Amino acid sequence: MPIQINKGVLGKEFPPFAVTVERGKIKEFARAIGDLNPLYLDDRVGAASEWGDLIAPPTFAITFRDEGADTNALLRELGTDISRVLHGEQEFELHRPIRPGETFLCRSRVLDVYERTGKSGPMAFVVRETAVTDKANEIVATARHITVVRL
């Protein structure tokens, strides 16, 4: 019996949240991927680079989350739970590299909710966008995330 997804989440805006990029988290993230690029790991190489410090790998913004928020709240609001969701697609637009010590503001909203039937049955797609801005209110990154819910 397929579940029903709550399409009322379309257009939902989440409370903005701030993140501060920790030097050690950049290194931990790069090492977890097994990407040992010295620009991610070696402080001296970073300092001598055109960016003046370490930079984060291209997918690092996936770590930006609202630590104070209940991560399962959106899933509950959708009418599902974590055992039914898959990561369908992910995109990052990167306007400049991310460096340690920077504080950003993240604003997320639900851009689209739609249903399709694939090989493995009916599925709902929830498209979220997160805009990451710096203290000068310049856009640093835009992340688009498609969650697939197996109905």
Rule CB under 8 A: which residues touch other proteins?
25, 28-29, 31-35, 37-40, 49-51, 55, 57-59, 62-63, 65, 82-84, 86-95, 97, 144, 150
Query: Given the complex with other proteins, which of 66 and 115 has the nearer CB atom?
Result: 66
Per DSSP, helices labelled H in 36-147 are: 38-41, 43-47, 73-78
Query: Given the complex with other proteins, which of 8 and 87 has the nearer CB atom?
Result: 87
Q: Which residues of 94-110 are buried (b: 16+ CB within 10 A; e: fewer)?
A: beebbbbebebbbebeb
Amino acid residing at 82? I
Phi, psi (deg, nearest 5) at residue 100: -60, 145
69 DSSP assignment = S
* Distance, CA of 128 to CA of 110 (rounded, Å): 4
Query: Given the complex with other proteins, which of 8 and 90 has the nearer CB atom?
Result: 90
Query: Given the complex with other proteins, which of 98 and 113 has the nearer CB atom?
Result: 98
* Distance, CA of 127 to CA of 89 (rounded, Å): 9
